[in-house]
Structure 1
Amino acid sequence: MMSQYIVIVLYFLGLGLLGYLASKRLHGLDDFFTGGKRLGCWVTALSTQATGESAWLLLGLTGLGALVGVSAFWVVLGELAGVGTAWFLMASPFHKATERCQALTTTDYLLHRFSKFTDIIRCVSVTALVVFCTIYAAAEIDATGAVLEHALGWNYYAGVLTGFLIVTLYCAFGGFLAVAWTDSVQGVMMMLALLLLPLAAWWSMNLPEGLWVAVESIDPALLTALGPGDPVIKGLEVIGMIAIGLGFIGTPHIFTRFLAVKSHKDIRHGRWVAILYTLLADSAAVLAGLLGRVLYTSAEQNPQQVLGNGGQNVLPMMTESFFPMFIVGFYIAAILAAIMSTFSSLLLQATSSVTCDWLYFHQRHQLSGTEAKQHSRNITWALALVALLLAVTVTRFLPEHTIFWFAVFGMSGITATFSPMMLLALFWRGFSSAGALAAMVSGALMILVGKLWLQQLNEVGIYFQALETLPLAFVVSLFSGWAASLIWPDESPVMVSG
Structure 2
Amino acid sequence: MAVTSFIAFMLIFALIGVASMLRRQATTTDYLVAGRSVPAWLAGLSAVATNNSGYMFIGMIGMTYSTGLSSVWLMIGWIAGDLMASLTIMKPLRQVSEMRNVHSFGGLLADWHGHGFIHLRRITGVLTILFLGAYAAAQLTAGSKALSVLFDWPLSTGALIGGGLVLLYSYSGGIRASIWTDAAQSFVMLGSMLILMMAAVQTAGADASIPDALASVSPTYMQWFPGQGWSGALLFVGGWIAAGFGVAGQPHIVIRYMALDRVENLGRFRIYYYTWFTLFYAATIAVGLMARLLLPDAGSFDAELALPLLSQQLLPAPLVGLMLAGLFAATMSTADSLILSCAASFTRDLLPAHKPGYAATKLATVAVVIVALLLSLSGNQSVFALVLIAWGLLAAAFAPLLLVLALGWQPSERVALLAMGSGVVTLLLWRWSGLGSVVYELLQALLLAFSVLVIDHRSATVSCREP
Work out the CA distance in 1 between the residues paired with 2:423 and 2:198.
41
Work out the CA distance in 2 between the residues paired with 1:206 and 1:403.
30
Q: Does 1:264 align with 2:236?
A: no
Work out the CA distance in 1 between the residues paired with 2:90 and 2:237.
27
Q: Does 1:417 align with 2:397?
A: yes
Change in Cα spacing, 1:29 to 1:430, as seen in structure 2 (3 Å) is: closer
1:117–1:433: 8 Å Cα contact kept in structure 2? no
2:21–2:177: 8 Å Cα contact kept in structure 1? yes
| CA displacement 1:46-99 (0-9 Å, x = unmatched) | 111111111121222223323222211101111221331243332222111222
Q: 1:351 aligns with which of 343, 348, 354?
A: 343
Work out the CA distance in 2 between the residues paired with 1:284 and 1:36.
35
Work out the CA distance in 1 between the residues paired with 2:115 and 2:264.
34
Aligned to 1:408: 388
Aligned to 1:305: 299
Q: 1:468 aligns with which of 440, 453, 458?
A: 440
> AA paired with 1:383?
V
Change in Cα spacing, 1:10 to 1:490, as seen in structure 2 (3 Å) is: farther
Change in Cα spacing, 1:312 to 1:145, as seen in structure 2 (3 Å) is: closer
Aligned to 1:88: 87
TM superposition shift of 1:281: 0.8
Work out the CA distance in 2 between the residues paired with 1:491 and 1:99.
32
Aligned to 2:370: 385
TM superposition shift of 1:149: 1.9
2:401–2:416: 8 Å Cα contact kept in structure 1? yes
TM superposition shift of 1:147: 2.3
1:19–1:171: 8 Å Cα contact kept in structure 2? yes
Deviates most, 329-338 or 51-60 = 51-60
TM superposition shift of 1:238: 4.4
Q: Does 1:324 align with 2:296?
A: no
TM superposition shift of 1:224: 1.9
Deviates most, 272-281 or 344-353 = 272-281
Change in Cα spacing, 1:379 to 1:488, as seen in structure 2 (3 Å) is: farther
Q: Does 1:376 align with 2:361?
A: yes
Aligned to 2:169: 170
Q: 1:334 aligns with which of 288, 308, 326?
A: 326
1:88–1:271: 8 Å Cα contact kept in structure 2? no
Instruction: Give the secondary structure class of the aligned counterpart of 1:467.
Output: coil
> AA paired with 2:11?
L
Change in Cα spacing, 1:219 to 1:402, as seen in structure 2 (3 Å) is: closer
Aligned to 1:14: 12
Work out the CA distance in 2 between the residues paired with 1:390 and 1:405.
15
Work out the CA distance in 2 between the residues paired with 1:242 and 1:71.
14
Work out the CA distance in 1 between the residues paired with 2:147 and 2:227.
33
TM superposition shift of 1:363: 5.2
Structure 2 unaligned residues grouped into runs of 5+: none
TM superposition shift of 1:347: 0.4
> AA paired with 1:72?
S
TM superposition shift of 1:375: 0.6
Change in Cα spacing, 1:468 to 1:114, as seen in structure 2 (3 Å) is: same
2:55–2:139: 8 Å Cα contact kept in structure 1? no
Q: Percent same amino acid at aligned positions?
A: 25
* CA-atom RMSD in angstroms: 2.6
1:137–1:342: 8 Å Cα contact kept in structure 2? yes
Work out the CA distance in 1 between the residues paired with 2:76 and 2:202.
27
| CA displacement 1:375-399 (0-9 Å, x = unmatched) | 1111111122222222223x1xxx6
Work out the CA distance in 2 between the residues paired with 1:487 and 1:242.
29
| CA displacement 1:91-116 (0-9 Å, x = unmatched) | 22211122222222232222222465
| CA displacement 1:350-390 (0-9 Å, x = unmatched) | 1011112232x2454xx7xxxx2211111111122222222
> Given the two structures, how large is their TM-score scaled by the length of structure 2?
0.91
Aligned to 1:79: 78
Work out the CA distance in 1 between the residues paired with 2:456 and 2:138.
34
| CA displacement 1:166-205 (0-9 Å, x = unmatched) | 1122112210001111111112211112222222222333
TM superposition shift of 1:220: 4.1
Change in Cα spacing, 1:115 to 1:436, as seen in structure 2 (3 Å) is: farther
2:77–2:237: 8 Å Cα contact kept in structure 1? no
1:172–1:376: 8 Å Cα contact kept in structure 2? no
Change in Cα spacing, 1:212 to 1:101, as seen in structure 2 (3 Å) is: same
Aligned to 2:429: 449
Change in Cα spacing, 1:338 to 1:465, as seen in structure 2 (3 Å) is: same
Structure 1 unaligned residues grouped into runs of 5+: 298-302, 455-460, 493-498
Instruction: Give the secondary structure class of the aligned counterpart of 1:484.
Output: helix
Work out the CA distance in 2 between the residues paired with 1:403 and 1:192.
22
Matches within 5 A, 1:97-496: 97-114=96-113, 118-206=117-205, 210-227=209-226, 237-297=236-296, 304-306=298-300, 308-309=301-302, 311-359=303-351, 361-362=352-353, 364=355, 372-393=357-378, 395=379, 402-451=382-431, 453-454=432-433, 461=434, 463-487=435-459
Deviates most, 237-246 or 329-338 = 237-246
Change in Cα spacing, 1:104 to 1:116, as seen in structure 2 (3 Å) is: closer
> AA paired with 2:396?
A
Work out the CA distance in 1 between the residues paired with 2:222 and 2:159.
39
> AA paired with 1:212?
P
1:234–1:466: 8 Å Cα contact kept in structure 2? no
